[in-house]
Structure 1
Amino acid sequence: MMDRARPFVAPAYLFLCLLLGGSAQGYWGNAALRLAAIAIITWALVERNNDPLPHSLKQLIILAGLAIALVIAQLIPLPPAIWAALPGRSQFVQGFQILGIAPGAMPLSLAPYDTIATGLALLPPFGMFAAMAGLRGYSKAWLAAALVGGAVAGVLLGILQVTSASPESSPWYIYRLSNFGVATGFFANSNHMAALLLAAIPFIAAFGASIQENAKDVRLRSAALALTGGGLAVIVLGLILNGSLAGYGLGLPVVLASLLMLIRSHAKLVRITLVAIALSSVVALSVLWSTPVSRDATISVSSRQQMLATGSELVGDFGLTGAGLGTFAQLYRANENPNRVDTVYVNHAHNDYLELVVEGGLPAIVLLLWFFVWWGRSVLEMSRSPAADQYALAGSIASAALLIHSVVDYPLRTAAMSAVFAMSLVLIVQSRRSAASDRDIRPVRHLLVA
């Protein structure tokens, strides 16, 4: 029974993440996803086998372990003298002195409960990783179907949202704080819904290309083409209803990258497409960088440049040790110009890399650089391998879109998109063509006996 269920664990968990993990406001949904992740991780550890893992996958496991170690290290109590000597702690030491309180042992994190919450938020992507790399036996087609199905369901919900007579009181918006008036689907933030739609595009293309490659029946190929076209049409409709500039700006490079699945054998076209992808990505980031963070903000958080300036000051204040994971919002409010404060508050830096550096210091910088080296090398090896299939390429495109989007937003802070990201990373290093088609991939050697 368990073996029969194994191929459906990863797709089912991904689909649940897309439905329940669209915002930190969904306390019960996120709690359920984390409990499910713990069960999946436990199952994967109990049933682990001695089959060798790819080198790239082992490195990814090490990176995940180091991320957990960083969370734990920030919670270890430090002697008062050492804690007081850390960068950025002098103002807190003065506060203790004013209150007449002698500080005891303190952890590196200034907000340890928020650090614990940040660590628990890693469970859904780790659960997705365990379902694929640990349990194995997953179906790539079912994973793509779960991702696209979640995106299409979000678009259908978005149609109900934008057609509501009064969006602010509409029952179709799931979260109390949301971008009312546009299609957010199962998310609270329209940009995060756009990130899901962008990630779905390459997997729709991969699904269609895979059927086209393996199907011998002309009618089946035609049906695959029709399904691919229909799926892309729904995604485009969702992007229009969503109204996210990130979706519009990154849509072109994602579509161009997805076309690589159809022209991989044409080296010249591939080079031209790669140049077009790079240029369109730079243009998209430039446009997004100059646009307001919030549609409602008038002063405080309307400028990414202002948030970068304040965030950079925090990097200087807390130096190489960081302030602790989950502390950025509180630190920003304590350091922003009071004359520029309005009714809209900052919950994240809208630049995940800046936020991680503020909170994690030098260890976070090292982990980020190591990850980017790992990702770049894995994608390069995948692109050169004749055994890599369309789903591996789709994973590289989806993960690249999310990494670029993280420069101007925080899509990976949601359980939904972090699970999509984890799935994409595993597919980059594990998704391969079936053994039956390997004869067509690798040249056959003949032994001639005279």
Structure 2
Amino acid sequence: MNRIEKFTFYSFLALIVWLPIPLGSNRMWAWSIAEMWIAFQCLLLVIAYRGKLPFEMVTRYRILIGGLVLFQCWVFIQTLPLAWGILEAVSGKSAEIYNLVGAPEGFISLDSRMTRVSLFKGLAYTLFVLNAIFLINSSRRLKLVALAIVISATLQGFYGAIIVLLKIPESPVFGYTQSGVATGSFVYKNHLANYLMLSLCVGLGLIVSQLHVSESGSWFTRIRRLIEGLLSGKMLIRLCLVIMVIALVMTRSRMGNTAFFAATTIGGLIALLFYKDKPRALTVLIGSVIAIDTIVVGALFGLEKVKQRLAETSLAGESRDQVVIWSLDIIRDFPFTGTGMASFYTIFPMYSRADIGFYDHAHNDYVQFMVEAGIPATLLLGSIVLYSLWRTFNTIRSRHSKTMKGVALGCMMAIIGMLIHISVDFNLQPMANAATFILVLFLANATAVLPAVGSLPVKVTDSSKYTNKVKVSPDV
């Protein structure tokens, strides 16, 4: 194994853990660090493969990577200065606004500077997936990446819960005021809740991938398996899930908790109906997550307060629904081109009809993407997500590999949870959440195409030729 390539993979794992630490990578200095980190990994891969990357591996992910590339091309077009005739033909409303302020040139984007910033973030996401394609090339590495997500979220959950339980008034590092709800190293509680929800689903899939699929056997065999399970790494992952559930409840996030409960319920039912060679313990595991984690553990650490917030929620007391309604007018004026990525806070005050405070996001990522990118580009991204969701379903229904089916189930639940949660919040805006979700989409596709045994393309001669070095994997 090329040592540089191996170092790059462990750097990739470290990046997964790092992303949420600096305020969810939701500050320019923080996401700039991540962008440089990703670019450095690309450089290391070029060095490891001596400039001849095995691009045939990319074809197995052509829908995912192709969709991301096309979207970034569109964002790039939004930042280009256009002749007035072309701009009027493409986006008459944008031309009208630029003419109104006497601008010397016009763009599709109404905030071209911030759209360029968004473009660099989007390119980093695309390179992040490209790095994952070259690095995550075996079932063992697939499990290590899933484990890195679980470890990262466990650290976030433990840190967030401890801050609340010890009633520390300010966060130790950045000095943000703590209001009695878990935020971890994020600034916004719903972003932590979303990150925990994604990671919980991936962790649950990781446990499923380790369940026995053989016959139940005698009582002696069952007891032996029970003891083995209690002493195995599977139990450590289970404890990590408990910590994450505690922190998720302590965020007091209404939709974060609802999304997790709905995702595990829907994903669990799909697994029980379609899972190929279903383990006997699968029903017990899903039931325990819903019953023990959500109800028992949640009752001890504040689920009642989450229920109270849900009960007290009303449209009369919320202004976020007005933001969504008024944002529909923006979509009506810019249906095809959008106003430019990251331009919502610039354009929304023009459409606000009352003093409801400052909103830099729509609190609905479906609406915000249609506002900023336009309806066609939003549908492009949506098709990638739905395609990945479909691949997870095909994997759990048709593959024999325990690892692939288990991780695919976790990815399915994570995607379902994210689709629910972004309907009321802006969870795709922080880099930590967006990159983790994109990684989940990659894993969803990887479970469909990676072999059950380790198949690593490695360099074997100085003439830069490659071959498949196959090794037996414990995966079944």
TM-score with structure 2 length normalisation? 0.75
Q: Summarize the Cα distance change of 1:17–1:384 in structure 2 as closer, same or farther, 3 Å threshold.
A: same
Tell me, yes or no, if structure 1 residue 341 matches structure 2 residue 350: no
Alpha-carbon offset, residue 315 of structure 1: 0.9
Deviates more, 1:229-238 or 1:107-116: 229-238
1:355-394 equivalent positions in 2, closer than 5 A: 355-386=368-399, 387=401, 388-394=404-410
Q: State the match for 1:246 in structure 2.
A: 255
Tell me, yes or no, if structure 1 residue 316 matches structure 2 residue 315: no
Q: State the match for 2:302 in structure 1.
A: none
CA separation in 2, counterparts of 1:237 and 1:60?
34
CA separation in 2, counterparts of 1:121 and 1:232?
30
Deviates more, 1:140-149 or 1:213-222: 213-222
Q: State the match for 1:280 in structure 2.
A: none
Let me know the Cα RMSD of the aligned residues. 3.7
Q: State the match for 2:424 in structure 1.
A: 408
Q: State the match for 2:57 in structure 1.
A: 53
Aligned partner of 1:64 among 54, 62, 68? 68
Alpha-carbon offset, residue 191 of structure 1: 0.8
CA separation in 2, counterparts of 1:175 and 1:116?
30
Tell me, yes or no, if structure 1 residue 75 matches structure 2 residue 88: no
Q: State the match for 1:427 in structure 2.
A: 443
Q: State the match for 1:186 in structure 2.
A: 185
Contact 1:148 1:203 in 2 (8 A): yes
Contact 1:80 1:104 in 2 (8 A): no
1:255-270 equivalent positions in 2, closer than 5 A: 255-257=264-266, 259=268, 263=272, 264=275, 265=277
Deviates more, 1:214-223 or 1:398-407: 214-223
Alpha-carbon offset, residue 185 of structure 1: 0.3
Contact 2:389 2:412 in 1 (8 A): no
Q: Summarize the Cα distance change of 1:110–1:262 in structure 2 as closer, same or farther, 3 Å threshold.
A: closer
Q: State the match for 2:198 in structure 1.
A: 199
Contact 1:75 1:112 in 2 (8 A): yes
- Secondary structure, counterpart of 1:105 in structure 2: coil
Counterpart of 1:341, as a letter, is D
CA separation in 1, counterparts of 2:152 and 2:314?
29
Tell me, yes or no, if structure 1 residue 122 matches structure 2 residue 122: yes
Q: Summarize the Cα distance change of 1:40–1:3 in structure 2 as closer, same or farther, 3 Å threshold.
A: closer
- Secondary structure, counterpart of 1:121 in structure 2: helix
Q: State the match for 1:147 in structure 2.
A: 149
Q: State the match for 2:41 in structure 1.
A: 40
Contact 1:212 1:221 in 2 (8 A): no
CA separation in 1, counterparts of 2:113 and 2:30?
20
Where in structure 1 are there 5+ consecutive unaligned residues?
Answer: 278-283, 442-450
Q: Deviations over 1:85-132 (max 9, x none)?
A: 533236525633xxxx4x433221111001011112224533431332
Alpha-carbon offset, residue 376 of structure 1: 4.0
Tell me, yes or no, if structure 1 residue 223 matches structure 2 residue 266: no
Contact 1:315 1:322 in 2 (8 A): yes
Q: State the match for 2:92 in structure 1.
A: 87
Counterpart of 2:393, as a letter, is L
Alpha-carbon offset, residue 16 of structure 1: 1.2
Q: Summarize the Cα distance change of 1:288–1:76 in structure 2 as closer, same or farther, 3 Å threshold.
A: farther
Contact 2:17 2:152 in 1 (8 A): yes
Q: State the match for 1:232 in structure 2.
A: 241
CA separation in 1, counterparts of 2:335 and 2:323?
18
Q: Deviations over 1:402-449 (max 9, x none)?
A: 2221111111211111121122112112135633889997xxxxxxxx
Tell me, yes or no, if structure 1 residue 158 matches structure 2 residue 174: no
Contact 2:388 2:445 in 1 (8 A): no
CA separation in 1, counterparts of 2:359 and 2:203?
35
- Secondary structure, counterpart of 1:129 in structure 2: helix
CA separation in 2, counterparts of 1:212 and 1:384?
17
Contact 2:24 2:430 in 1 (8 A): yes
Where in structure 2 are there 5+ consecutive unaligned residues?
Answer: 215-220, 291-305, 454-470
CA separation in 2, counterparts of 1:409 and 1:358?
15
Alpha-carbon offset, residue 21 of structure 1: 5.6
Q: Deviations over 1:4-26 (max 9, x none)?
A: 3244233211111122361523x
- Secondary structure, counterpart of 2:37 in structure 1: helix
Equivalent pairs counted in the alignment come to 412
CA separation in 1, counterparts of 2:150 and 2:475?
29
- Secondary structure, counterpart of 1:88 in structure 2: helix
Alpha-carbon offset, residue 220 of structure 1: 3.9
Counterpart of 2:133, as a letter, is A
CA separation in 2, counterparts of 1:28 and 1:365?
27
Q: Summarize the Cα distance change of 1:193–1:199 in structure 2 as closer, same or farther, 3 Å threshold.
A: same
Deviates more, 1:45-54 or 1:320-329: 45-54
CA separation in 2, counterparts of 1:238 and 1:390?
24
Counterpart of 1:143, as a letter, is V
CA separation in 1, counterparts of 2:212 and 2:198?
22
CA separation in 2, counterparts of 1:142 and 1:45?
23
Tell me, yes or no, if structure 1 residue 24 matches structure 2 residue 13: no
Q: Summarize the Cα distance change of 1:397–1:124 in structure 2 as closer, same or farther, 3 Å threshold.
A: farther
Alpha-carbon offset, residue 346 of structure 1: 0.5
Q: Deviations over 1:303-348 (max 9, x none)?
A: 33312210111111223222111111121112211xx315x31111
Q: Deviations over 1:249-293 (max 9, x none)?
A: 1221233356469843469x99xx9xxx9xxxxxx9xx9899479
CA separation in 2, counterparts of 1:409 and 1:363?
21
- Secondary structure, counterpart of 1:326 in structure 2: coil
CA separation in 2, counterparts of 1:356 and 1:175?
32
CA separation in 2, counterparts of 1:127 and 1:334?
35
CA separation in 2, counterparts of 1:236 and 1:439?
30
Contact 1:118 1:326 in 2 (8 A): yes
Counterpart of 1:119, as a letter, is L
Contact 2:78 2:107 in 1 (8 A): yes
TM-score with structure 1 length normalisation? 0.79
- Secondary structure, counterpart of 2:24 in structure 1: coil
Alpha-carbon offset, residue 247 of structure 1: 2.2
Q: Summarize the Cα distance change of 1:355–1:262 in structure 2 as closer, same or farther, 3 Å threshold.
A: closer
Q: State the match for 2:10 in structure 1.
A: 8
